[in-house]
Amino acid sequence: ADYDLLIVNGVVVTDTEAGEYDVAVKDEKIAKVVKRGELKDAKATRMIDAEGGYVMPGGVDGHVHLQEPPLFGKGSSADNFETGMKDILTHLGVIKLTLIGSRSAVCGGTTTMVPFAPQKKSEDTLLDTLHATHAKAQDNCYIDYSFHLLVGNPSERALSEFKTLREEGITSLKIYMTYEALKLNDGEILDVLLEARKNQITTMIHAENGELIDWMTKQLEKRKMFAPKFHGPSHPPMAEIEATHRAICLSEFMDSPILIVHVSTPQATAYIKAAQNRGIPIYAETCPQYLFLTKNDLDKPGFEGAKCVCSPPPRESEADCDAIWDGLADSTFTILSSDHCPFRYDDNVDGKKTCINDEYPEGHFKYIPNGIAGIETRLSLALGEDRLDVKKFVELTSTNPAKLYGLYPLKGGLVEGKSDADINIWYPPGKMPTYALTNSMLHHNVDYTPFEGRTLKQWPRYTVLRGKVVWDRENGGLIGEKGYGKFIKREPSSLAKPRFEGEWDVKEDGSFGFY
């Protein structure tokens, strides 16, 4: 055979083009993308008729939490690297063994993920963290992966390890302006930004003002307001707006590119846009929760609201969601990620119900672990809404995350001879009956989805990873194998670059800058 796989009769969509093309795959790579019909005499081991459905590069999810220790409130993640099948040992406080997350990803069309390797405040080194995370992921992933280092303690030693991180193919890290277990002060943030700039590492920032959150939490406690819905007022828009502005200022001062993660408010979006318009290398991410969920979802009676506790929280109204959709359409947001951070609902050992105890028999919002699952629903929810141009959809969910995190054109594209053959084939118009999403359809280890009942108009029909069909919705569903997914060494970002040449320094006369 000339090729391993031919995909014909599709509408091929990349970030720059949409048209009637056929795709040929050989040796795990995209071999050819040519006008429809041009490959009709070619021989292939397997042929897929896309029947007019979209053919896109596989999803790249740049924001995923798997198998992390308790960092965002009590509880630990329900999904490990394989899928989310909970290891019984976690209940005994033993580190979770191998398992789930990438399974859920592949069943929703995501072929590459970048989860976190979380360094705790009590740890001095980043490299140990990285190697421990490698060990968890090795042989346990259904999809390809890399890691962002989550820097909880930018000690001198940790900062000195950035160079080695970069050599080991880790070209991004995340820092926090909130959460007791992770929060860095502004001086520590500057240390990280300086060292990141030197080593061509991109810094992701969780921008919420931790002290404002603590202060609001005390105000609510004084008034005996503990229900899950008070997670909303404890994390007001101003906490995000202030921290976003501060993060932009620190990044501009240090000329060190940042990505502001999970942006949820119109005003923070406006600050980001203004900085971008001034030419500052500020990038931004949002997530489906800020497109689809609002205060109403947090405001459910009893403990139900806990299902939508994430930070930042779902905002006030549809108007907030609309502003975030607009930010996607006008490129203020560079990427649309899931922020998959899975906690079980009905679980008082690791899940949302860890916040229920003798003192708070109905729970206390401040102890609910923050985060919701969404790695599997990210693509289908966003595409099905028909609010984004399809090329823009590919850009936000695949090409840009690949470019931002140094994976392009290996990932996130359909570039002949260069891109891995990671492909989603969607249903042709009218072929998939519209249905309501239920958690039972999903492949994570979480006992609910915050998107329960949403109308789904699309789902990947086939997903291909390095030339192999790993998801065939009508014939076997998940047919990929655990361990096929491999670690990808990343390059520096091809999007996020400093503006100035040289290294930051202070001269004898007190002037400072890049020399």
**What does the binding site for Zn ion look like in residue numbers (CB under 5 A)?**
206, 339, 347, 349-350
Q: Residue 371 or residue 406: which is nearer to ligand URP going by CB? A: 371
Partner from ligand URP, Zn ion, none binding residue 72, C-beta < 5-8 Å depending on class: ligand URP
Three-state DSSP state, 127: helix
Q: Which does 347 bind (CB under 5 to 8 A by kind): Zn ion, ligand URP, none?
A: Zn ion
Q: Which of 71, 207, 198, 201 is nearest to 146 (CA)?
A: 201
Strand partners for 461: none
- Give yes or no for a contact between 467 and 488, defined as CB atoms under 8 angstroms apart: no
Interacting positions 451-490 with ligand URP (CB under 6 A): none
Q: How is 316-349 classified by DSSP, letter by letter? A: SSHHHHHHHHHHHHTTS--EE---B----SS-SS
DSSP one-letter string for 68-106? PPS-SSS---S--EES-PPPGGGGGTPPP-SEEBHHHHH
Distances in whole angstroms, Cα of residue 342 to Cα of each of 147, 422, 450 = 17, 25, 11
Minimum CB separation from ligand URP for residue 129, in Å? Answer: 16
| Shorter beta-carbon distance to Zn ion: residue 351 or 460 | 351
Q: Which is nearer to ligand URP, 8 or 216 (CB)?
A: 216
Q: Is residue 341 involved in binding ligand URP (CB under 6 A)?
A: yes
Contact between 78 and ligand URP by CB under 6 A: the answer reads no
Shortest distance in whole angstroms from residue 113 CB to Zn ion: 12
Query: Does residue 119 interact with ligand URP by CB under 6 A?
Result: no
Indicate the residue among 311 and 397 with the shorter CB distance to ligand URP: 311
Those residues with Cβ within 8 angstroms of residue 273's Cβ, 6 or more apart along the chain or in another chain: 327, 330, 332
Of Zn ion, ligand URP, none, which one sits near residue 183, judging by CB under 5 to 8 A according to partner kind? Answer: none
Q: Which is nearer to ligand URP, 262 or 444 (CB)?
A: 262
Applying the rule CB under 6 A, the residues between 183 and 242 that interact with ligand URP are 206
Out of 98, 251, 311, 493, the only residue in the binding site for ligand URP (CB under 6 A) is 311
Query: What is the Cα–Cα distance from 143 to 32, expressed in whole angstroms?
Result: 23
Contacts of residue 395, Cβ cutoff 8 Å, sequence gap at least 6? 15
> Is residue 339 involved in binding ligand URP (CB under 6 A)?
yes
The binder of ligand URP chosen from 310, 336, 379, 496 (CB under 6 A):
310
* Interface residue with ligand URP, options 29, 32, 65, 403 (CB under 6 A): 65
- Residue 61 binds ligand URP, judged by CB under 6 A: no
Q: Please give the structure tokens belonging to residue 275.
A: 């900085």
Residue 349 CA, distance from chain mean position = 25
Residue 370 partner contact from ligand URP, Zn ion, none using kind-dependent CB cut-offs of 5 to 8 Å: ligand URP
310 binds, among Zn ion, ligand URP, none (CB under 5 to 8 A by kind): ligand URP
The nearer residue to ligand URP, 206 or 468, going by C-beta atoms, is 206
Q: What is the size of the binding site for ligand URP (CB under 6 A)?
A: 10
Residues 342-371 that bind ligand URP (CB under 6 A): 370-371
**Minimum distance, C-beta of residue 262 to ligand URP, in the bound complex (Å):** 6
Place of tokens 């989550």: 150
Distance CA 404, CA 492 (A): 8
Query: Packing angle between helix 266-277 and helix 318-329, nearest 10 degrees?
Result: 20
Residue among 335, 340, 286, 311 nearest 81 (CA): 340
Helical packing angle, 186-198 and 237-254, nearest 10°: 50
CB of 3 to Zn ion, least distance (A): 39
- What are the residues binding ligand URP (CB under 6 A)? 65, 72, 206, 262, 310-311, 339, 341, 370-371
